Structure 1
Amino acid sequence: MSLLRRFPVLVAATALTATTLTAVAVPQLLPTATASTYALQGWATQGGGTTGGGSATAVTVTTASALISNMQASGARVIRVSGTIALSGMNKVAANKTIIGVGSGAAITGGGLNVANVSNVIIRNINFRDWDDDAVNVQYSTRVWVDHNSFSHGYDGAVDVKRASDYVTVSWNKFSNHDKVGLIGHSDDNGGEDRGKLRVTYYANWFDGTTQRHPRVRFGNPVHVFNNYYRSTSGYGVASTCTAGVYVERNYFDSVSKPVVAQTGDSPEGNVKLLNNYLVGSGTPVSRNAASVAAIPYSYTVDAAENVKSIVTGGAGTGKI
């Protein structure tokens, strides 16, 4: 197996607010024969960390009624989804839950999961298809990890994070055959709730022929987007708007005409810091007011951008954990 380059980035911060973060990053070049860690990284490690149902005894569900009753119950639960479960509309997820698919074929179709006004939720290894609203909606919630899922053919957002949510990581997912992938911040006029929050990490995701919002960010600062693989995204890759601060680091952009933009739609401009992204048949990513993008307060491991395509396509999506 060839050796891949991986950078452990050690960051020390004085605080977690957007205005007081100070940090020093010290990347060290080391050989490794493995991909980036499948363990939790990013913003969902903050605020006490994200453990979901933890060590609670797992229950396996095969029907919509069993899934809904378990994920809406009080207390910690680990819920194993087996086979295909058809839902309708948005279905509430209570705090301290892990929802994890069995094998590569576990699927939720038709409806979506509403992570609202709760904390400490993990959603892993599920195939989401044909949802009629959002596949995963996170609002007024903290410490949420969306990991190793596959999303395709939905109506609205695949993973939307909004309304003062915070400490969220979206990692190792595959998005395909879909338009609006990931919204961070639902509207231009919600800054009163969202400033100082909406801190989200996107890493090791595979955007395969999707259109826009990978992610599209309002207000959050810093939002960290690293080691993702973008293939033929037809609209744009990353968008920073409404004074957001987005750090776009060591991603692989393959045939993407607009890898990174600092304005989209009717929203005012945001700020972007770029570092060592790899471009193949792609346009030039936009950088704007990089000094306004707050520092990253957590330690994390990154791979060299030129290795991201092979690593992410080999590891993202369901059946890989």
Structure 2
Amino acid sequence: MAPKIINNAIAMQFALALILVILLASNPGFAAKKAKQILRGVKMNAIDQCWRRDLNWMRNRPQLAMCSVGFAGKMSGNAGRGLIHYTVTDPSDNAVNPKPGTLRYGATMIRGKVWITFQRDMRVTLQKTLLISSFTAIDGRGFNVHIAGNACLMVFQESNIIIHGLHIHDCRPQAPSLVMNPDGKVVPLGQVDGDAIRLVSASKVWIDHNTLYQCQDGLLDVTRGTTDITISNNWFRDQDKVMLLGHDDGYVLDKNMKVTVIYNHFGPNCNQRMPRLRHGYAHVVNNMYNGWGQYAIGGSMSPRVKSEANLFIAPKSGNKEVTSRMDTIGNKQSWKFYSVRDVFENGASFIKTGFGGAKPNYNPQQSFPVVDAKFVRLLTRSAGALRCTRSTC
């Protein structure tokens, strides 16, 4: 056995032991069972097993960049030579003249690739929408970081961005205003809906291990030609409109959109759009659906969806059907809505339509093993922003 494999195995066993010691102090029987379940989930999760078993994860933060899967691929452009480490020490915000130490300064004023971390627990209330620069990683691990109460995050015509480990909630619409953009210039920004994260004409973005809820519009919008996106290990809850993929029915450039939605937990209290897709392609795999109101997965304009090894738990009453087809153009029976090895509970059902054309065709940097849906509860047990210590996460 190679030394690296041996070291990884030892680290994994030590991490399990450490978690057991921490949890056993409060409730020995329950804690031991829970710790084992968490570690089983980590081992099966292609993203988490890449970095969470590292006892020096805090020192090796940029290792995370090589752990992504799906259409975003490996985020190698966010690590390596020339990486700038920046720490947020000040939770305040100035939309047009950001101060050093604030989140906006790190996300807009620093040239090159930057890895942003936080000095302590904090709540950042943004004055206006935060525009994030290319080659930026926002890493909330280790602290309880909330972006909440007013404006939230946008990626506009940028690429190679990681958003990880944040609580984003209570986002509100913004009137047209002036903001600092990623070129370090103040620019006018039009009306912005109250979304937690909005991607506009962006590419190669990885959104992982965030907790998102209670925003006035939606939690995540992927629009206007955005592509090569991975949305993983997030917890989406308490929201009407959750995830929109595709700008509108007339925006045909979204035909090139490719999104991977993996290891996420949807619910409780999510109504629709998990996701709602226009034109493009989504691989929706190994996610947990804890009920829905109107529907779980829907779309218009002949989208292509491969739903694979997800767990769909229908609501106790109301609509039990997972899917919804929303426009009247063309033959809906030709739409590519596939369900492969999904598990349906509490009367859930999935109407399949279309033949062929729903394979993701990942390259080696994007591919990952699909886990049997019977393990989805374990896979998604750690979804959302993690509670990390210096040696475990």
Q: Could you say which TM-score interval applies, normalised by the shorter chain? A: 0.7 to 0.9
Q: Are the equivalent residues in 1 in contact too, given 2:229–2:260 (CA < 8 A)? A: yes
| Range with bigger deviation, 133-142 or 282-291 | 282-291
Provide the TM-score with structure 1 as the length reference.
Answer: 0.83
1:251 to 290, 305, 310: 310
Q: Are the equivalent residues in 1 in contact too, given 2:286–2:309 (CA < 8 A)? A: yes
1:263 to 322, 325, 349: 325
Q: Are the equivalent residues in 2 in contact too, given 1:125–1:319 (CA < 8 A)? A: yes
**Displacement, 1:112?**
1.1
Deviation string for 1:76-108 (max 9, x for gaps)? 111113411111342111100000114251110
Alpha-carbon distance between aligned partners in 2 of 1:76 and 1:295, rounded to the nearest angstrom: 29
Structure 1 counterpart of 2:212, one-letter code: F
SS in 1 for 2:78: coil
What runs of 5+ residues in structure 2 fail to find an aligned partner?
1-39, 48-66, 173-193, 388-392
Tell me the residue number matched to 2:19: none
Larger Rg: 2
| Range with bigger deviation, 79-88 or 108-117 | 79-88
After superposition, residues 149-160 of structure 1 pair within 5 angstroms as 149-160=210-221
1:53 pairs with 2:89:
no
RMSD of aligned residue pairs (Cα, Å)? 2.1
1:213 to 273, 288, 296: 273
Alpha-carbon distance between aligned partners in 2 of 1:253 and 1:108, rounded to the nearest angstrom: 30
Tell me the residue number matched to 1:302: 370
**Displacement, 1:283?**
2.4
Tell me the residue number matched to 2:162: 122
Structure 1 counterpart of 2:326, one-letter code: T
Q: Give structure 1 regions of 4+ aligned residues with deviation exceeding 6 angstroms.
A: 265-268
Alpha-carbon distance between aligned partners in 2 of 1:120 and 1:164, rounded to the nearest angstrom: 15
**Displacement, 1:216?**
0.5
After superposition, residues 11-50 of structure 1 pair within 5 angstroms as 34-38=43-47, 39-45=67-73, 49-50=74-75
Tell me the residue number matched to 1:168: 229
1:225 pairs with 2:250:
no
| Range with bigger deviation, 100-109 or 112-121 | 100-109
Structure 2 counterpart of 1:213, one-letter code: R
1:284 pairs with 2:349:
yes
The structure that is strand-richer by fraction is 1
Identity of aligned residues (%): 25
Tell me the residue number matched to 1:75: 112
Structure 2 counterpart of 1:214, one-letter code: M
Alpha-carbon distance between aligned partners in 2 of 1:33 and 1:135, rounded to the nearest angstrom: 27
Q: Are the equivalent residues in 2 in contact too, given 1:254–1:280 (CA < 8 A)? A: yes
Alpha-carbon distance between aligned partners in 1 of 2:76 and 2:271, rounded to the nearest angstrom: 32
Alpha-carbon distance between aligned partners in 1 of 2:201 and 2:227, rounded to the nearest angstrom: 8
Q: Structure 1 184/258 Cα, relative in aligned 2: closer, same or farther at 3 Å?
A: farther
How many residues end up aligned between the 2 structures? 284
